[in-house]
Amino acid sequence: MNPVSLETLNDAGREAFAAMLGDVMELAPWVAEQAYTARPFASVAALYQAMTDAVRKAGDVPQRALIEGHPDLAGKAAREGKLTADSTAEQVGAGLDRLSEEEFAAFHGLNSAYRKKFGMPFIVCVRRHGKESILREFERRLQNDAAAEREAALGEIFRIAALRLDQRVTGPDKLKVHGHLSTHVLDVHDGHPAESVAIELCEIEAGGGARILRRTVTNADGRTEKPLFGGTPIPIATYELRFAVGEYFARLHTPMSDPPFLSIVPVRFAVAEPEGKYHVPLLVSPWSYSTYRGS
């Protein structure tokens, strides 16, 4: 679905409005209907605010219904293909459709324990997390009391809504729901940006395995044409950048040992703030390198 402009939403009738935003809150079109009355919206942030206000003001019973409208993570509904389009895309994006047996068992056990303790499904904005981070959240939130957990669930619902709004609505402003991951390779042997360095971005999994997310190459300024992540949250996870510096220096006929001391340079780091700015550069000679969280 193409995004709709804020202007169009402001001019829309109640029905059209609800049709466009009814699924921003999972199975709760009433939230969009409530928000309709607050038109016109000067900004996407104001629209988001109106929707969360509608939930806050609705009181206990509708809130509980909203929460219960959410599916289990990696649950029965997901396996049977019975999720909403949004939920399906979100769970697939987080890798919940390709769990190992052990992971599936872990999710199943946590879902049960959570339902038993809180009587509701566990809700987390999965686009902000990798698989292990979801499991860690699960365990952490199982320690909460009911009131804190109710609040945590609403908070996650609002995060999910903000990301859905960000995809559906264009306006004069952007919600602060995106992170940014970039790199930069500097050749300190010759004192200039390193061009045409092949880079892989991997996600490192619990067992140490690496899943390649992206393959790219540096341009004349030593940067990648597009950020490694941008326009989405960066899932909380461990990543590894792999820089093919051996090939790079070989192409420049830089004297090196055989095999070269440095060939693939792996830089492993974790993202803790999905909406943060992560710049992870590499300063490299054939015999040394450094890296850091830059800005």
Q: Determine which residue in the list 119, 190, 219, 230 makes contact with its own copies, applying CB under 8 A.
A: 190
Q: Is 158 near its own copies (CB under 8 A)?
A: no
- Minimum CB distance to its own copies smaller for 37 or for 295: 295
Which positions ≥6 away from 69 have C-beta within 8 Å? 26, 27, 28
Q: Does 290 bind its own copies (CB under 8 A)?
A: yes
Residue 191 makes contact with its own copies by CB under 8 A: yes
Q: Which residues contact 25 (CB under 8 A, 6 or more apart)?
A: 31, 32, 51, 55, 66, 157, 161
Query: What part of residues 265-284 is at the interface with its own copies (CB under 8 A)?
Result: 265-266, 268-270, 272-273, 283
Of these, 14, 98, 174, 192, which contacts its own copies (CB under 8 A)?
192
Q: What SS3 class is residue 235?
A: coil
The contacts of residue 120 (CB under 8 Å, 6+ apart) are: 64, 67, 68, 114, 153
User: Binding marks (x or -) toward its own copies, 110..129, rule CB under 8 A?
Assistant: --------------------
Distance CA 117, CA 109 (A): 12
Site for its own copies contains 251 (CB under 8 A): no
- Residue 116 DSSP SS3: helix
Query: 154 φ, ψ to 5°?
Result: -60, -40
- Is 255 a binding residue for its own copies by CB under 8 A? The answer is yes
Q: Are 9 and 20 a contacting pair, CB within 8 Å? A: yes
Query: Is residue 104 a contact point for its own copies (CB under 8 A)?
Result: no
Question: Angle, to 10 degrees, between the axis of helix 44-58 and the axis of helix 146-168?
Answer: 150
Residue placing its CB nearer to its own copies in the complex, 112 or 219? 219
| Interior angle at CA 285, CA 283 and CA 291, nearest 5 | 25
C-beta of 10 vs 263, nearer to its own copies: 263
Structure tokens at 18: 């609800």
Stretch that binds its own copies, among 8-16, 163-171, 172-180, 186-194 (CB under 8 A): 186-194
Q: Contact with its own copies (CB under 8 A): which of 24, 153, 186, 228?
A: 186
Residue 44 binds to its own copies (criterion: CB under 8 A) = no
Closer CB to its own copies, 71 or 222, in the complex: 222
The binding site for its own copies (CB under 8 A) comprises 133, 184, 186, 188-193, 208, 210, 221-222, 236, 238, 240, 255, 257-266, 268-270, 272-273, 283, 285-295
